[in-house]
Structure 1
């Protein structure tokens, strides 16, 4: 084990918990990656130093196998290079979106040249972004994830928040599903910070009913589309922040609930996947009332802080080394009364 995992295991030891550890491949694991562009090269920051390169073995193979050729095609075009400062990739090993980010408006000449490049690549689509506007191909795409020999579809775009390690993401979902401790098939799940539905969709197979909330308008729109495509009938979603969700459970009316009656459901389990800052004091007080808590975190410091504040038994826990060769790590804790 590397040092960051050993340090995290030690933090669990202080809580008398023995976590499972899931290791990622060291290469070709990232489903999304962001580069700068300068001097005809991809760029990234290494501390305070800027590094220049043409190819990386960090992204999944569909990105790694094409990024050098794509860079060459861009460098051969004065139009595509002009005031380009960022190149981002997102891929699910079937479809890849390459987003080019500019400090200038894009025009018909740019569209014609990017179309010529796009025609050279199979299942790679090019999007231009400039001052809030989107040019070129659609920036939306579908990913399918298999759980227990069954596929489900998730709609995303080039800016969606999505678990970045395509190798470990299904293992995270499976870890949660196999360690649910209550009679979940007759229980209801509340999910905060649901994003585009990475956990919402598969977990709906394991609960009687799921109510999921998210503050991002586009993520909620994508999740609506995913629910419809998967033909799931037991999910209701609303565009609410964590604090608005708490207010809704306290009786405050929101038009965004579309007349959904929260009082007609009893929620035994709550799943939270908060930002790096962790849970607010109001969220802690609300969440600790649930019989079962599924806590997903990308920040070990706030994760262990919040576990102590929630003051529940840690039934199962896991460490996922999603971010190989960095100090970052992903954690899951399943808590019960």
Structure 2
């Protein structure tokens, strides 16, 4: 990726020797980190070297009578004003300068301080414009004109206010093992930022569970990114998630893909373990017959904090564990527990965040 802001913009932090150089560095770091657990080759799944982000956030910076996109400086020296970002996908990249011109022309830049972009692989885009002022009907009229002219959806946000111009979501299509899955991605909710690496990640996960049978238990299911493809491989899936908006989106995505063998339950992992062990009763579990499940496999995709010790002990009950991690440090900590009862059969590195220190890791474990 050729970016004139390398070394200044904090969005990218590893740029010596280009894409392959940063990938080699991350692989070496994580090969050493997991050497006590896994001595075979770690499978590597690459990103495109540019235009890979389908979700991105920018500051809006005011200077004289003009406005600019801004990013934090790499060395914490204020804000870097940018007129180009080769990280974002081609659709967002093409839209960014046009949007600034429209905001100035329509005079809706007053107290605007942020712009968030969410795009599908086909170019459907929601832009969230974030303000330090209350938005009125005049703003909505002008935003509607911009949305129509640019062929996008716009969300206006300010304190305790959300105005929707068009709709607040996009519909993404993912091609996974020659099958297309559709997902509703809602503005201001978590989605995978690198859609092409996400496709590779789901494909790897499906391949990893291809020899598993029975039913699946999934913890931290989010909006069903893995859950729905998994449902095609298992008899039944029981999936838990603490976030109410994510659970609601997961249920919509299930119907969007004509999948009917998933039961979603909104509760934390800690609550679910307590319910499963009969230590507490939850009304949210009343309609779920846990005894009807034949669970041999558990899938976990926790937040950056990883799993706590109790959750790891719980996961260790199952024959097959598939773990996707967005933080290799907490993954290594959790493997200290999981590797006491399970052997690591495969590890993968997914370069979800090129030119940064961040990666996603996948681990397949089987009980000894």
Query: After TM superposition, is the score higher than 0.5?
Result: yes
State the distance in 1 between where 2:160 and 2:229 align. 33
Residue by residue, what CA displacement relative to the aligned partner does 1:143-190 show, whole Å, maximum 9, x if unpaired? 121222222221221112111111101100111111226432xx1111
Tell me, what secondary structure is at the counterpart of 1:97? strand
Which deviates the most, 258-267 or 297-306? Answer: 258-267
Residue by residue, what CA displacement relative to the aligned partner does 1:81-119 show, whole Å, maximum 9, x if unpaired? 111111000111221110001111110000010011111
TM-score by length of 1: 0.95
**Is the Cα–Cα contact under 8 Å of residues 160 and 196 in structure 1 kept in the other structure?**
no
Displacement of 1:132 in angstroms is 3.2
Instruction: Note if 1:272 corresponds to 2:290.
Output: no
Instruction: Note if 1:192 corresponds to 2:222.
Output: no
Tell me, what secondary structure is at the counterpart of 2:335? helix
Alignment correspondent of 2:253: 226
Tell me, what secondary structure is at the counterpart of 2:154? strand
The unaligned stretches of length 5 or more in structure 1 are none
The unaligned stretches of length 5 or more in structure 2 are 1-22
State the distance in 2 between where 1:56 and 1:149 align. 31
Aligned ranges 1:53-92 → 2 under 5 Å: 53-78=82-107, 80-92=108-120
Alignment correspondent of 1:259: 287
**Is the Cα–Cα contact under 8 Å of residues 241 and 266 in structure 2 kept in the other structure?**
yes
Instruction: Note if 1:164 corresponds to 2:193.
Output: yes
Alignment correspondent of 2:149: 120
Residue by residue, what CA displacement relative to the aligned partner does 1:271-296 show, whole Å, maximum 9, x if unpaired? 11111111111101111111111111
Tell me, what secondary structure is at the counterpart of 1:168? helix
Which deviates the most, 261-270 or 7-16? Answer: 7-16
CA RMSD of superposed structures (Å): 1.4
Which deviates the most, 22-31 or 68-77? Answer: 68-77
Displacement of 1:255 in angstroms is 1.9
Alignment size in residue pairs? 333
Displacement of 1:13 in angstroms is 3.0
State the distance in 2 between where 1:70 and 1:258 align. 49
Tell me, what secondary structure is at the counterpart of 2:87? coil
Instruction: Note if 1:315 corresponds to 2:345.
Output: yes
- Aligned pair partner of 1:5 in 27, 31, 41: 27
- Aligned pair partner of 1:285 in 313, 318, 323: 313
State the distance in 1 between where 2:212 and 2:334 align. 25
Residue by residue, what CA displacement relative to the aligned partner does 1:199-251 show, whole Å, maximum 9, x if unpaired? 00111111111111111111111111111222212101011111111112112
- Aligned pair partner of 2:354 in 307, 324, 328: 324
Tell me, what secondary structure is at the counterpart of 2:206? helix
Aligned ranges 1:197-208 → 2 under 5 Å: 197-208=224-235
Displacement of 1:140 in angstroms is 2.0
**Is the Cα–Cα contact under 8 Å of residues 210 and 233 in structure 2 kept in the other structure?**
no
Which deviates the most, 29-38 or 245-254? Answer: 245-254
State the distance in 1 between where 2:291 and 2:159 align. 44
Instruction: Note if 1:27 corresponds to 2:50.
Output: yes
Aligned ranges 1:123-142 → 2 under 5 Å: 124-137=152-165, 138-142=167-171
TM-score by length of 2: 0.87
Tell me, what secondary structure is at the counterpart of 2:71? strand
